[in-house]
Amino acid sequence: MRFDTPATTNPIDQGKVVGQRIHRIDGPLKTTGRAVYAYEWHDPNTHYVYGYVVGSAIAKGRIGSMDVSAAKRAPGVLAVVTSDGIGDLKKGKYNTAKLFGGTEIQHYHQAIAVVVAETFEEARAAAALVKVDYAEEKGVFDLEATKDTAVKPKDGEPDSAAGDFDAAFETAAVKFDQTYTTPDQSHAMMEPHASIAAWNGDELTVWTSSQMIDWWRSDLATTVGIDKEKVQIMSPFIGGGFGCKLFLRADAVLAALAAREARRPVKVALPRPFLMNNTTHRPATIQRIRIGAERDGRITAIAHESWSGDLPGGGPEVAVQQTRLLYAGANRMTATRLATLDLPEGNAMRAPGEAPGMMALEIAIDEMAERLGLDPVDFRIINDTQVDPENPERPFSHRDLVGCLRTGAERFGWQDRTKQTATRREGSWLVGMGVASAFRNNLLVPSGARVRLDREGIVTVETDMTDIGTGSYTIIAQTAAEMLGVPVDKVAVSLGDSRFPVSSGSGGQFGGNCSTAGVYAACVKLREAVAQKLGFNSPDELTFAGGEVRVGDRRMPLAQAAGDEPLVAEDRIEFGKLGETHQQSTFGAHFVEVGVDVATGETRIRRMLAVCGAGRILNPITARSQVIGAMTMGVGGALSEELVVDKERGFFVNHDLAGYEVPVHADIPHQEVIFLDETDPMSSPMKAKGIAELGLCGVAAAVANAIYNATGIRVREYPITLDKLINELPEVS
């Protein structure tokens, strides 16, 4: 099915199932421990063995020699796999660094060997016996030191310009120019990268933790040198991904190589330090923002420049992209520059681009509002736009940023915010409020599904879509139930298997809208098959409701259409040019109240509110879960999360959850989420858009702005730790 005209009325609009607060259909499996994650897959008739990864102890250089003799003699060891035995592996389409280092070392903890043994403990002990002599080379690990040598990247968001920024900024009545920094950050999800690999002749099956089944299947086939059709990927449940499981990682490759060498099914899991140094992370940025405005608050000039780093062949953190679309202003420019660093690979982490970009932009907007003497909410509303500011002929498909800001301000009690900083005090706490806009683009990715109706009236949906904890199982079941007129408990959903039709996968905030649109397309095909089976010319003549097919006064069970053989339909949603003619984005507003201890500088979040405008909300329960999780992640980005770089040796020092501090329950108060009642008929037949990453974009800036309101201290270097506040706080009285 091709979607290239705005969606008109369709069965989804009934809203009997889609849009309702339905609890996760996979919830009982997870709460009772019956949901099987990658490393837990177990066939009682199979004897699994274990692989333990040896990572490079240097960040740049070569391996002079590797002695594995002691490891091979260790108890229980079945094999030691090194590059000497397999040669150089090809890189897949989506990988910057090689997943198996070979003789050349590109970053710290790059995998250079895997030891296979009967037990995990034996494999780990033997891995410690591998002796490596390195020829270490001097690496580059400091973004600030390489900023001046950064270049325009070949890939990524291009530089942009409209009007004449330099002239408009020079003549602006009020001007602002500041630089902000965001640090390297880690995904830190609960489930580490883990895989089980088993060979059957020349065919490979891998149970793994993957957000994008087809990407992994293609790249794994390329890497291990076999035909894609001989690879099966299984990933029905995922314990968090946030972007680092979008791309094939070392655990799957090493499990496949180890299983081939040992001739046994092999389990490989990356320990937490490997997760932070071996997999992808969010790169650090340096961002300069300039704004010029008239005295009435209307922006006349806006510029955003960003510097980030990655390995050779990598890409930039596109932190300027939201600035191209969020606020009006005739004269504008953005630029992105990329430095070459020898740190672990930088790549997608929840809301790549907008998350760190809005950490800077939404502080700058507050700072400019203060210079103009305007309320921060009012300043944002004054500069709203209903068209792409760089291309005024291109309107937004649907945009209600103003509605988000006004709704949030009223619900949060924004009128009670003190305009004078550091004036509201409750005991030892200085209290303040902050706001930030939320923005994330709506991406459209083709997605396929297969739907089957059996004689019992059970509808089964099969698609290789994944569920990273976001509720994919449930919203897919709701879609099929709405389309075919059956209750949710009559729908079975099977996900995460490469034998199923290729879906959009989970990432970029596109998974929910696109995967359900693919299921919608398959259900349209099944409705046509039912109509044909029952002797009608068109499914439009039929009503699907209550587990029945109805025509006028006639009613018959839907199951009757299946007969002895199930009815099967398969289709794929393909998106036309609506995304080119109209800008599709999601919008929101974050409001935060903080308390800062006047004696210690400790910051505590007191209240949080997110207001989101993101098209039809397919399931308010699962959508809220995504948003409150994202808000929590935003608190971490604001106050604690930073991968500390050893700039001499080139690795992340705090590479575990003892040193890399993520928020815990005690850090987060009650969070309120409001969804605007809206649909976007240009986004898909579902009239929905993504929600998951919108809940993160802007949160850190709202926290920073609240801290400023509470203390009068403006911090432009994240995270905002107490050492950046304590020396400037008022004296304790």
Percent of the chain with pLDDT over 70: 100
CB of 77 within 8 A of CB of 120?
Answer: no
For the chain, the distance separating the N- and C-terminal CA atoms, rounded to the nearest angstrom, is: 69
pLDDT at residue 333, as a whole number: 98
**3-state SS of 618-648?**
CCHHHHHHHHHHHHHHHHHHHHCCCCCEECC
Strands 49-55 and 266-269: parallel
Confidence at 272, pLDDT banded by 50, 70, 90: very high
**Residue partners of 273: CB distance under 8 A and separation at least 6:** 109, 655, 656
pLDDT at residue 733, as a whole number: 67
The CA distance from 701 to 310, in Å, is: 25
pLDDT at residue 562, as a whole number: 92
List pLDDT tens digits, range 185-244.
Answer: 999 999 999 999 999 999 999 999 999 999 999 999 999 999 999 999 999 999 999 999
Q: Is 693 assigned a catalytic role?
A: yes
CB of 111 within 8 A of CB of 55?
Answer: yes
List pLDDT tens digits, range 136-147.
Answer: 999 999 999 999
Confidence at 128, pLDDT banded by 50, 70, 90: very high
Q: What is the mean pLDDT of the chain?
A: 96
List pLDDT tens digits, range 625-642.
Answer: 999 999 999 999 999 999
pLDDT at residue 454, as a whole number: 97
Radius of gyration of the chain (CA): 27
pLDDT at residue 552, as a whole number: 86
- Give the closest residue to 109 by CA, choosing from 256, 289, 270, 222: 270
In this predicted structure, the answer to whether residue 342 has a pLDDT above a threshold of 90 is yes
In this predicted structure, the answer to whether residue 531 has a pLDDT above a threshold of 70 is yes
Question: CB-based burial of residue 655 (10 Å sphere; 0-12 exposed, 13-18 middle, 19+ buried)?
Answer: buried
Query: How many helices and strands in the chain, by DSSP H and E?
Result: 17, 32
List pLDDT tens digits, range 70-90.
Answer: 999 999 999 999 988 787 788
Averaged pLDDT, 681-695: 97
Confidence at 354, pLDDT banded by 50, 70, 90: very high
**3-state SS of 247-316?**
CCCHHHHHHHHHHHHHCCCEEEECCHHHHHHHCCEECCEEEEEEEEECCCCCEEEEEEEEEEEECCCCCC
The CA distance from 23 to 298, in Å, is: 45
Averaged pLDDT, 573-591: 96
Catalytic residue among 693, 717, 728, 731: 693
| Domains delineated in the chain | 2-35+444-579 (3.30.365.10), 394-442+584-728 (3.30.365.10)
In this predicted structure, the answer to whether residue 123 has a pLDDT above a threshold of 90 is yes
Buried b (16+ CB within 10 A) or exposed e, 161-175: ebbebeebbeebebe
pLDDT at residue 20, as a whole number: 98
pLDDT at residue 494, as a whole number: 98
